[in-house]
């Protein structure tokens, strides 16, 4: 594979374009058209090349680091008060005012801008034509932004090397949301630019009214472009902690000393960089240490290098020791990414007091699967995140009367503040803060205070649930540059979606009707996400491609449930099969659950035939407190249980009890004592009713049983916590 690369240099290190930085691909496209148009109408070859370019995918953009000053540049031009001069163009200077104010971007003029488009087979001729057109470019941005350009084709290896060594920021099209959105050409952009050019030549019309000449202005049509989200991803690399002695293998580091490890690695990398780049000591200290000698902050945090310890997780028997470290260099870092990675590669950290080596060496890793366990993968993101190392929350407030620090648990607002400081603008939907670790092999938050510069009262384990999926890495809190506040996504968010019904529910809703309406809505939403030409998997529909009902043993599928009010408010729930069966999801199920997460973004209403037009609000599930998911010995029916097979020659009560016992055995549950109640026969449906289940031991929810268990029936709630 190869790429078309256009390089652009400005005569002066200034850019006066308004509304975009870096200069957008749409500006470059118009500049190419303007350069060719200086020689007259476009030729056939030039037109064909530009029409080919407007159909390409959005390019990669590399731009030098820029800054803006408070000083503004004034442009004097005529205002729209042409009546004062009776429409006479020769007298326009008399109504000239400073109506345009710009704050130009300043940058190093020796660093060229780079735009790169991937090429397919057969595109080489068009690419050569664009390279020829680039040689005729004379400005980019405003008319005073004089520039020149040249083009070339590079293979993927040469392009990667160019971008890796580029002394600036590299922006690529984003698959998700981004704060940077730039206009990009689309099919028809060339025609719209030509139409605007023709209309600009006719935008003034002169009308004579007696002795007076009036000028009528018509606004030329705007050119057509599409908006594309761009992001500038950081340069990431994983390193392994290996033994530096003759004994090979990992050198695991204790989790509670994560902060100490990060400081040792950071100081060793600083020492190596300062010896290689002695003239840049202040920049090195600013982006790696982030503090001045007096302890005050130095420089913006957006430009700082981040060292993130990656404890071993993802398996029940993982010991959570640190064997890998992620080094992340942001796009705005003034140091080259290659130089920073060089300072960490082969690094042997030392004791800061004695100078003694620690017996380990930092080695670049070839296996990057660990990134997926921390949400750093090509997915739509995750909604629920838990801290692996505790979060150093902002300082507790002091009482104005006593001056003493309040010791109560931080509020959700404190966590929101920590998220905002880390650059996460999406507010959490639910927040959970505690001292204890969320996982059995974790450590209490206070134990991380040893060797760290944060006191115990500031360290907390945090769980955050967002209304929309968030991509990793997610590292929050005041200790995010010291190995603290490392978060991981929780699989649970990909297994249960719960929505509280805020309004619209009728007085006597039928659970099956609501469940079927929810199923139809999810099927339609997921189908829209997949596209009309893709068949809907049985995971969402509960039906095989032949139309027959899918057997859960062969084709596990979602359950759609209605909870009439076990937590006070009614809810609708979507529960994945692995949650119902108490197992880990398969790879295929994980893929389906990611699509489900994306499809449910913004899901806020549900229309039913007679249960009402429901207004929904997404809510996180706490498996320790929720009566549908917590452990209990006694379980009560929430929605009617429908027998799967009616026992012969027995009464209704015994038939329901026998069927429930068989269902519990099929699910692998202990044998309960069954107390049926509220039995009734429904024509065309069969025997349904409620029941109480009493187990000899505590059983963890959810418990959903019976023939209608996937469509609202057979839901139980724990009534006596174990």
Q: Comparing 60-64, 363-367, 497-501, 546-550, which segment has the lowest mean pLDDT?
A: 546-550
Residue that wins the pLDDT comparison between 25 and 380: 25
For residue 482, CA distances in Å to 262, 307, 438, 485 come to 6, 7, 21, 9
Q: Which of 630, 658, 642 is nearest to 717 (CA)?
A: 630
Q: Is 348:357 a contact under the CB 8 Å cutoff?
A: yes
What is residue 539's predicted lDDT score, i.e. its pLDDT? 93
For residue 669, what are its two tokens?
């549950």
Calculate mean pLDDT across residues 299-327: 84
Q: Is 309:322 a contact under the CB 8 Å cutoff?
A: yes
Q: Compute the distance between CA of residue 652 and CA of residue 647 in angstroms, rounded to an integer.
A: 9
What is residue 648's predicted lDDT score, i.e. its pLDDT? 78
What is residue 186's predicted lDDT score, i.e. its pLDDT? 93
Q: Is 385:470 a contact under the CB 8 Å cutoff?
A: yes
Residue 58 DSSP symbol: P
Q: Is 572:560 a contact under the CB 8 Å cutoff?
A: yes
pLDDT exceeds cutoff 60 at 650:
yes
pLDDT exceeds cutoff 70 at 384:
yes
Please report, rounded to a whole number, the percentage of residues in the chain having pLDDT higher than 70: 87
For residue 538, what are its two tokens?
């049985």
Residue that wins the pLDDT comparison between 258 and 721: 258
What is residue 89's predicted lDDT score, i.e. its pLDDT? 59
- Which tens digits make up the pLDDT trace of 577-593? 999 888 888 888 888 98
- Which tens digits make up the pLDDT trace of 142-178? 888 999 999 999 998 899 889 888 888 889 887 656 6
What 3-state DSSP class applies to 205? strand
Q: How many CB atoms lie within 10 A of CB 382?
A: 24
Q: Is 85:94 a contact under the CB 8 Å cutoff?
A: yes
DSSP assignment string, 179-206: SEEEEE--TTHHHHHHHHHHHHTTSEEE
DSSP assignment string, 442-501: ---GGGGGTTSSS-GGGEEEEEEEEEEEE-S--B-STTTTTT--BEEE-GGGGTEEEEEE
Calculate mean pLDDT across residues 367-389: 81
β-bridge mates for residue 598, sequence order? none
Please report, rounded to a whole number, the percentage of residues in the chain having pLDDT higher than 90: 43
Strand-pair category, 703-704 with 605-607: unpaired
Distance of CA 219 to the CA centre of its chain: 40
List all residues 6 or more positions away from 690 whose beta carbon is below 8 Å from its beta carbon: 636, 637, 640, 641, 676, 677, 678
- Which tens digits make up the pLDDT trace of 44-62? 999 999 999 999 999 999 9
Calculate mean pLDDT across residues 636-640: 95
Please state, rounded to an integer, the average pLDDT across all residues of the chain. Answer: 85
Confidence grade of residue 721 (pLDDT, cut at 50, 70, 90): very low
Q: Is 697:631 a contact under the CB 8 Å cutoff?
A: no
What is residue 637's predicted lDDT score, i.e. its pLDDT? 95
Confidence grade of residue 636 (pLDDT, cut at 50, 70, 90): very high
Q: Is 594:529 a contact under the CB 8 Å cutoff?
A: no
Q: Compute the distance between CA of residue 387 and CA of residue 377 in angstroms, rounded to an integer.
A: 18
- Which tens digits make up the pLDDT trace of 281-297? 888 998 999 876 555 56
Give the CA dihedral 284, 285, 290, 296, nearest 10 degrees.
-150
Return the residue matching tokens 């605007």: 196
- Which tens digits make up the pLDDT trace of 83-114? 555 555 566 565 555 456 677 899 999 999 99
Calculate mean pLDDT across residues 372-394: 83
What is residue 624's predicted lDDT score, i.e. its pLDDT? 65
Residue that wins the pLDDT comparison between 631 and 248: 631
């Amino acid at each position: 594979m190869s790429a078309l690369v256009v390089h652009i240099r400005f005569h002066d290190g200034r850019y006066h374009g308004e509304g975009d930085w870096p200069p957008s691909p749409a500006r470059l496209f118009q500049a190419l058209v303007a350069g060719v148009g200086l020689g007259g109408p476009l030729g056939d070859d030039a037109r064909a090349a530009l029409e080919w370019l407007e159909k390409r995918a959005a390019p990669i953009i590399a731009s030098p680091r820029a800054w803006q000053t408070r000083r503004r540049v004034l442009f004097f031009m005529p205002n729209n008060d042409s009546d004062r001069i009776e429409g006479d163009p020769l007298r326009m200077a008399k109504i000239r005012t400073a109506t345009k104010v710009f704050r130009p971007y300043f940058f190093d003029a020796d660093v060229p801008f780079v735009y790169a488009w991937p090429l397919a087979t057969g595109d080489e001729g068009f690419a050569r034509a664009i390279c020829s057109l680039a040689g005729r470019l004379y400005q980019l941005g405003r008319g005073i932004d004089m520039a020149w350009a040249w083009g070339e084709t590079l293979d993927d290896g040469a392009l990667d090397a160019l971008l890796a060594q580029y002394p600036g920021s590299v922006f690529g099209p984003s698959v998700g949301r981004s704060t940077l959105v730039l206009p990009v050409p689309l099919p028809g952009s060339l025609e719209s630019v030509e139409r605007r050019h023709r209309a600009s030549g006719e935008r003034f019309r002169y009308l004579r009214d007696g002795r007076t000449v009036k000028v009528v202005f018509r606004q030329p049509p705007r050119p057509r472009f599409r908006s594309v989200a761009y992001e500038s991803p950081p340069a990431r690399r994983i390193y392994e902690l290996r033994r530096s002695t003759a004994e090979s293998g990992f050198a695991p580091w204790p989790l509670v000393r994560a902060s100490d490890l990060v400081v040792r690695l950071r100081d060793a990398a600083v020492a190596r960089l300062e010896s290689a780049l002695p003239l840049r000591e202040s920049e090195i200290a600013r982006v790696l240490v982030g503090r001045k000698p007096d302890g005050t902050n130095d420089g913006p945090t957006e430009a700082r290098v981040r060292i993130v310890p990656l404890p071993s997780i993802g398996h029940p028997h993982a010991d959570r020791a640190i064997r890998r470290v992620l080094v992340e260099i942001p796009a705005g870092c003034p140091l080259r990414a290659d130089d920073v990675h060089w300072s960490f590669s082969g690094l042997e950290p030392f004791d800061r007091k004695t100078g003694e080596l620690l017996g380990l060496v930092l080695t670049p890793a070839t296996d990057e699967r660990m990134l997926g366990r921390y949400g750093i993968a090509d997915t739509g993101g995750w909604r629920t995140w838990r801290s692996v190392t505790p979060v150093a929350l902002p300082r507790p407030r002091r009482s104005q009367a006593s001056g003493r620090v309040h010791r109560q648990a931080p509020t959700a607002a404190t966590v929101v503040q920590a998220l905002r400081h880390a650059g996460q603008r999406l507010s959490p939907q639910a927040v959970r803060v505690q001292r204890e670790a969320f996982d059995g092999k974790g450590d209490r938050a206070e134990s991380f205070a040893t060797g760290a510069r944060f006191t115990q009262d500031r360290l907390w384990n945090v769980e955050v649930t967002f209304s929309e999926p968030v991509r990793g890495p997610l590292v929050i809190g005041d200790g995010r540059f010291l190995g603290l506040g490392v978060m991981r996504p929780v699989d649970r968010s990909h297994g249960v979606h719960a929505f509280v019904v805020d309004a619209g529910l009728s007085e006597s809703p039928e659970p099956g009707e609501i469940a079927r309406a929810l199923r139809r809505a999810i099927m339609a939403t997921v189908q829209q996400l997949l596209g009309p030409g893709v068949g809907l998997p049985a995971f969402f529909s509960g039906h095989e491609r032949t139309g027959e009902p899918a057997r859960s043993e062969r084709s596990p599928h979602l359950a759609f449930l209605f909870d009439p009010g076990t937590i006070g408010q009614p809810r609708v729930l979507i529960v994945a099969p692995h949650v119902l069966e108490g197992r880990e999801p398969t790879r295929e199920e994980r893929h389906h659950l990611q699509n489900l997460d994306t499809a449910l973004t913004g899901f806020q209403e549900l229309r039913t035939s007679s249960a009402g037009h429901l207004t929904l609000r997404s809510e996180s599930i706490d498996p320790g407190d929720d009566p549908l998911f917590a452990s209990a010995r006694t379980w009560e029916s929430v929605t009617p249980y429908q027998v799967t097979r009616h026992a012969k020659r027995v009464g209704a009560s015994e038939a329901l009890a026998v069927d429930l016992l068989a269902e519990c055995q099929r699910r692998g549950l202990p044998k309960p004592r069954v107390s049926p109640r509220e039995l009734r026969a429904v024509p065309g449906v069969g025997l349904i009713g409620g029941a109480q289940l009493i187990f000899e031991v505590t059983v963890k929810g959810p418990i959903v049983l019976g023939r209608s268990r996937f469509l609202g029936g057979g839901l139980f709630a724990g009534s006596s916590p174990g």
